[in-house]
Amino acid sequence: MSTSDKKLSSARLTQPTDKFVEEFTASVMFDQRMYRQDIQGSIAHATMLAKVGVLSEKEREQIISGLQQIMQEIERGEFEWSIAQEDVHMNIEARLIQLIGEVGKKLHTGRSRNDQVATDVRLYLRDMIVPIRSELRRLQLALLDVAEREADTIMPGFTHLQTAQPVTFGHHMMAWFEMLQRDIERLDDCSKRTNSLPLGAAALAGTTFPIDRSYTAELLGFERICRNSLDAVSDRDFAIEFNSFAALLMMHLSRFSEELIIWSSAQFDFVDLGDAFCTGSSIMPQKKNPDVPELVRGKTSRVYGNLFNLLTLMKNQPLAYNKDNQEDKEPLFDTIDTLLGSLRVYADMMGVIKVKKNNMRQAALKGYATATDLADYLVRKGLPFRDAHEVVGLSVAYGIRQNKDLSELSLEELRQFSDQINEDVFAVLTLEGSVAARNHLGGTAPAQVREAISFARQQLG
């Protein structure tokens, strides 16, 4: 079967469209992925037209039956897409007319491709937000599992990529969780503004037919209706907002990736990502390359580009609809695909990550990670913080010269810098003592990590 090559919108034109122009302006190659949403919107539109008396019940039934048949043809791979019909909307309508005749020509009453495509894109994005949110939650749950398992595992915490203070690996995973939780909140917020019905705005000014937009919104599950017809057909804020959310999420995944790449290197050797998420080298047999986090880090720039693409696309468009808006779909679709793939592979990878606890501990013993604990100890003994800071600085400098960590210095060595230091100092210079002492909301103490995990699980329901 084939759809008709006669354009449904060509009556005004006296010459056929140039072949190259036809191909250049067509979008059916990429917007056909919205066929479900287009048919869903058309069924709702036909149902509404019958309710207000523009279509008869028999005509409504014929249209819906034809649209359902087209859905089956597409899903069986039997539908022949035609560039001559430009896009998914006209392809489906042309086939509908082939199937049911003159009645099919009545479907477009009271609407335009302008409000039709705006509705389809919103429906499509709304549908795709569901699996994206699901994969995001799956990654969060994987992080919670790792954090719970590694709540007591000590590692060096870094600032400027220099050893700063001891933290637990569980605490570090919960930092990642918090970043993703903000992403979830942004996605939910974006979803609210996506879920608004443009259909009924027609080309730009509304329609003379007695349409019932509230009924159409109810049929399609929209929570609200776009209240201005000019804005309804030209608004792409929701797509830009989604891409903004996606850029932030990918930035977070890219930061995770950078840490995993560093941690899995021979120089750090903190984690093993699992062979299924790495590749070998074509020439160096010893290599195990962290390709998954590297590729996610690389794909982040792709999503940034899509966001800037959409912002630039919309920046100088006058109201209402312009052909420029055809260019909104490819960056949006690409971002959706990139997000889904990145989240899926990350959730799978974090589910099997192996933590090398001893290597982390040995690294935390280097770099004088408990220096702040010694300063806090001296403050509790009555020394002003700035004086305590100087004492610890001198102690660290001495330790460097002696090639000893603070915990390895003798009491006599430590006391040469302050007579406030006593035998009890060694309890705060241990890694375990350091992390356990930070036992407050948001702190790295294992007890607080477990409390944070419990709270997070309650949030997730």
List active site positions: 160, 281
> What torsion, rounded to 10 degrees, do the Cα atoms 211, 216, 222, 223 define?
60
What's the rounded Cα separation, in Å, for the pair 85 and 93?
A: 9
Say if residues 198 and 238 touch (Cβ distance below 8 Å). Answer: no
Q: Which of 146, 179, 193, 7 is nearest to 83 (CA)?
A: 7
Strands 162-168 and 154-159: antiparallel
Strands 154-159 and 271-272: unpaired
Q: Output the six-digit token pair for 285.
A: 């047999």
The Cα-based distances of 1 to 44, 72, 82, 98 in angstroms read: 26, 13, 11, 10
Q: Which of 424, 409, 413 is nearest to 378 (CA)?
A: 424
Residue type, 332: L
Q: Which of 337, 335, 48, 410 is nearest to 197 (CA)?
A: 48
The Cα-based distances of 256 to 249, 292, 424 in angstroms read: 11, 11, 38
> What torsion, rounded to 10 degrees, do the Cα atoms 175, 179, 180, 186 define?
160
Tell me which residue has tokens 């302008």.
114
Residue type, 336: I
Q: Cis ω on the peptide bond leading into residue 397 (within 30° of 0)? A: no
User: Residue 292 class from Cβ within 10 Å (0-12 exposed, 13-18 middle, 19+ buried)?
Assistant: buried
- CA pseudo-torsion sign 298, 300, 306, 309: negative
